[in-house]
Structure 1
Amino acid sequence: MSCDFCGGSRAASVHSEPRRDGAARTVGTMALGRRYDGAPLIRVDVETETWVDMDVEVGNSLHCSSISAEVEASAYVENARFCPFCGARL
């Protein structure tokens, strides 16, 4: 039995946390493809933003600030034998 990821669109969303109550936000995608030799290959792309709060004391003066950074990462899962969603052999 195959799912929509391995038997259909071959793409799925990556979320910030498990979606128990539907509040998790999408932070990237996963896509199923094939290498040059036909072996299954899963590409994972993540794009998110993170915030860092800083408190800096200079002399007797305290300075507080927040800094944000956008993070983008891509990775490949090679030699994937089974679908990560339904467990079907790829």
Structure 2
Amino acid sequence: MIEPLTVYTLPNCMQCTMTTRALDAAGLPYSVIDLTTDERASDLMQQFSYTSAPVVVTRVVSCSGFRPDWIAKIAALRDHPSLASK
């Protein structure tokens, strides 16, 4: 099973909403961090040169913006035998 993703968001962000809806539809677990209320998270995103929200982070990769293609790939990996045993 895939570990929960972290989604860094902004209020009233359409791409953020579309991303969390796509993650819900794919059945992927995630936690949300609001970049306007978490200064440490905001600093981290700036440090990694992300300039737009949402930013979706897994244990090993991350992406920015609404990326349904990326969400589909993560969902396809969810039940992969090599991940299911971990």
TM value normalised by structure 2: 0.24
Which of 1 and 2 has higher RCO (CA within 8 Å, sep 6+)? 2
Q: Which protein shows a greater Rg?
A: 1
- Would you tell me which structure has more helix in proportion to its own residues? 2
- Would you tell me which structure has more strand in proportion to its own residues? 1
TM value normalised by structure 1: 0.24
